[in-house]
Amino acid sequence: MKLLAAAALAALALPYALAQTPCPRNSTALTGIVHDATQAIIPGASLSLDGGAPETSGADGHFRFNCVAEGSHQLSVSAQGFATQTLALKTPHPTAVDLTLKLEEVQTNLDVDADDNPSAASATSSGPTQTIAGNRLQSLADDPDDLLRQLQQLAAAAGGNPSNATIAVDGFQDSSKLPPKSSIAYIKVNPDQFSAEYREPPFGGGRVEVYTKPGQPTYHGALFATNGSPWMNARDPFSTSKAALGKQRYGFELTGPIRKKGSDFTMTLEHRSIDNFAVVNAITLDPSGNATRTVANVSTPQRLWIGTAKVDWQITPKNTFMTSYSANVNHLQNVGVGGTALAEAGYDSQQYEHILRFSNITTASAHLMHEARLSLKWDGETDNPTAKTTSLQVAGAFTGGGAALGPQRLHELATEYDDDAILTTKNHTIKAGMQLWVYRERLTLTNNFNGTYNFGGGIAPVLDASGNPTGQTETISGIEQYRRALAHLPGGTPTTYSNVAGSPTVNFTLVQNAFFVQDDWNMGHGVHIASGLRYFWQTNPTLLGSLTPRMGILWSPDKKNRWTLHAHGGMFAGRFGKGDQSEVQRMNGVDRVTSTIYSPVYGSPFVGATPIHSIRQYSPHLTNLTWSAWNIGGTRVLPHSFNLSADYYNGRIWNYTRTNNINSPLNDNPYGPRPGPANLNILQMQASGQGRVNAVFVGIEQHSLKRVQFFFGSVRVNLVDDTDDNEFSTPQTSTSNAGEFAHRTGQPMWNVFGNASFKLPEKLELSANFNGGGDAHYNITTGFDNNGDGNFNDRPQYATPGQAGAIQTPYGLLIASGGTGVFPRNQGVMPWTFYLDTNLQRAFKLTRNAKAEHAQTLTLNVRSANVLNHTNVKTVGGVLGSPLFGVPYAADNGRRIEGGVRYSF
């Protein structure tokens, strides 16, 4: 690790040494920043000095001209949606040039969005790529949780699951937490999905790149606070009483110069105090042993701190150095409670993430730029269960006892080093680079050290009024099985008891590395061709053969660029993460022994029992996940500046990783004969999964109207596979794949999203953001292990007419065992979710002089999340025959309202 850190720091210092090429005598550098009247930076602005070759403002809004002759000059600046500005100046200039562009008169309310012009797209731009800045950024939620949900939904426009979106900050590849919204300059959603620079395919969840604000040449800052009181908020949809829901946020931001020119800083600090409640909605037993509905509000308070600090330093005219520090420290109580999980099954969680980052950008020449970035991230989690008793899993009814994860400790040092070179010629832009990740994991994994009783139900004797067997049998639910266990009645034997014994310590180091090269070739006549190649390798497990090509073409057939058409194709290689390696080591069968006992004695599970042991391992023939994907689409500029976009995607998955028990019993009896060692489940991770996908995206936007701007989009995703996008997913039986090819759990087939802003009378501004998802799927199971392979994912079968124990369902007549035909996986369909968030604000200028260096503004706002109070169901009962089967029993928050005040200076 020390050698790695030294090498990375040396690479960061190398550009500084290369940047010392002196300019001719009587010449100097001209630097500055471009922003709008709200101080939001403008990336991609075109700057020309004395009519010469244009330069472009970078991602942070900064620009520089090297070796400018001393004397008088004319600097011309233009950007999409802004009036062109020409500035007379002299060099050497005493400070960095601070350029403020004004909006075009006919577009006085345009968002600051560098990608509004479809003709400006590169050949690698594909589908719903968006840049969010200025007013549109301000319209998004202030609360980090709500902001994350909105961005994830926008990223899903490319076809991925919103929850899988990668959140990358300031050019780093690894995913991290969102910084405070007040520190964000702009956001790019799904940039260049087919570029070799990125690992994730369009269907991998999407990508959100967040760029934080640079420091300003003069001091500016803000103080803010928001409050949401219980009387303002709606109760949980499944609660019978209103809980004391509330939220308070407060913080500050400050930016300014460190010295007169060439260096500046920005810093933010934010605290959130969230008084939330989880709603328990379960089936339990009353003191008399009767099944009863249990609904309760359980307090789940959160205390969270987010802080950032960033310094930009212009070392030389050709070299810029940036360093940043961010911290995210959270304390959460009663985590895991809600739905069928009782209060006793919760745990207290202390979480932290500290990131120290260094970036160095060097302009070696007019055509060559070098970027080096180093990130050191310390993150971890300490969890303490509310109870330390044995866990209870009663299928389809409740989860009780102590939390199964135990008092675990997770500590990680993650190092990321990125090194890129960008070469620009007359017709080519070539970017080549390396992306290195090193994860040092130090874990104390106590999962299931306290043991778990599972009551899945099944075949049991029929009892008479006195509790004696009648000689007949019936299928009982898990809650009835648990009742009989407590009453010591026949049929009350738990389905299984499982536990883990040994050392909880799991330590390892994971190394991942990628090399890429990407070329964007401007052929002229409106044609761009992109081509790229990416190579990836990693350790734990060792994978060396991931070489993936990419290709794309963009064509603007008319001179006015009203049409922009594109087509792309390529391959993508996945990677195995930290969770895969930690789970394989956790269940290695040596340092930790995982045991399962079938039909144990309740209270004394090991008495007279023969444990079934389980281990995990990688297949000796394991290969990397491979995608192939292509898309075709385009953008049309309609009259009155409407933009219409449409895209079609198609993809195929090979070598998808899933787990199979290669030593499952041959006669469905867990103690029966097996192909290998007796009484041992060998859970092997194999590259045997397959999948396919197609997606259609349509979007329309309007950002030129004086009073209203909006964006609306929708995507339909048809993604099916036999892995459920989970390396540990197992088929219900190791001998057949029938019914396994299905939609992924929780992946909506439909995603809709949009935002709009309105200029109202009296200088009021109203913004609205909405997103929704529909036709997400969930699995339907029997609740117990029908075939004795150790996996409780067995699905029911179709029943024959008149068959005893059959249950009528919306999917037909089903039975837990002994039926005919295979019931497919993930046949359940979730209700639609729909969120509409609004914000109404008014800014009051406190400084009369419009040209004042430190203009003061007071902004008041009222923001609402889920303003329609729509019931957004998160969980539906999926255990056949259980009391909650087919019944929604958990949902996301109801309507929340908060008022805020912000003082800017």
Q: What is the pLDDT of residues 426-484, one digit of tens each?
A: 889 899 999 999 999 999 999 999 999 999 998 899 999 999 999 999 989 999 999 99
Question: What are the DSSP calls for 62-75, one per residue?
Answer: EEEEEEEESEEEEE
| Nearest Cα to Cα of residue 613 among 674, 657, 540, 666 | 674
Average pLDDT over residues 528-552: 93
Round the average pLDDT of the chain to a whole number and report it: 87
Dihedral of CA 715/721/727/728: which sign? positive
**What span, in angstroms and rounded, lies between the C-alpha atoms of 12 and 6?**
10
pLDDT level of residue 659 (50, 70, 90 thresholds): very high
β-pairing, 97-101 with 27-36?
parallel
Backbone angles phi, psi at 649, to 5 degrees: -115, 150
For residue 467, the SS3 value is: coil
Classify residue 606 as exposed, middle or buried by CB count within 10 Å of its CB (0-12, 13-18, 19+): middle
Please give the residue that has the higher pLDDT: either 662 or 139: 662
How far apart, in Å, are the Cα atoms of 735 and each of 1, 192, 663, 743, 791?
A: 45, 42, 11, 21, 14
**What span, in angstroms and rounded, lies between the C-alpha atoms of 901 and 905?**
14
From 261-275, 716-730, 847-861, the region with the lowest mean pLDDT: 847-861
Average pLDDT over residues 283-291: 94
Average pLDDT over residues 362-367: 83
pLDDT level of residue 667 (50, 70, 90 thresholds): very high
Backbone angles phi, psi at 718, to 5 degrees: -110, 90
- Confidence at residue 227, expressed as pLDDT on a 0 to 100 scale: 93
- For residue 195, count other CB atoms closer than 10 A to its CB: 23
**What span, in angstroms and rounded, lies between the C-alpha atoms of 605 and 611?**
10
Q: Say how many Å lie between the first and final Cα of the chain, rounded.
A: 44
Kindly tell me if the per-residue pLDDT of 875 is higher than 50.
yes
**What span, in angstroms and rounded, lies between the C-alpha atoms of 648 and 631?**
5
Question: What are the DSSP calls for 726-791, one per residue?
Answer: -TT---S-TT--TT--EEPBT--SEEEEEEEEEE-GGGEEEEEEEEEEE--EE--B-SS-TTSSS-
Kindly tell me if the per-residue pLDDT of 305 is higher than 90.
yes
How far apart, in Å, are the Cα atoms of 429 and each of 36, 123, 188, 195, 608?
A: 28, 11, 20, 13, 72
- Confidence at residue 837, expressed as pLDDT on a 0 to 100 scale: 93
- Confidence at residue 594, expressed as pLDDT on a 0 to 100 scale: 97
Place of tokens 């890129």: 420
Dihedral of CA 356/326/767/154: which sign? positive
pLDDT level of residue 5 (50, 70, 90 thresholds): very low
Kindly tell me if the per-residue pLDDT of 651 is higher than 80.
yes
Q: What is the pLDDT of residues 366-394, one digit of tens each?
A: 788 899 999 999 999 999 999 999 999 99
Kindly tell me if the per-residue pLDDT of 46 is higher than 50.
yes
Q: What is the pLDDT of residues 158-178, one digit of tens each?
A: 777 888 888 999 889 888 888
CA 737 to chain centre: 30
DSSP state of 541: T
437: left (phi over 0), alpha (psi -120 to 50) or beta: beta
What global pTM score does this model have?
A: 0.84
Question: What are the DSSP calls for 89-138, one per residue?
Answer: EEES-SS-EEEEEPBPGGGTT----TT--GGG--TT--SS-EEEEHHHHH
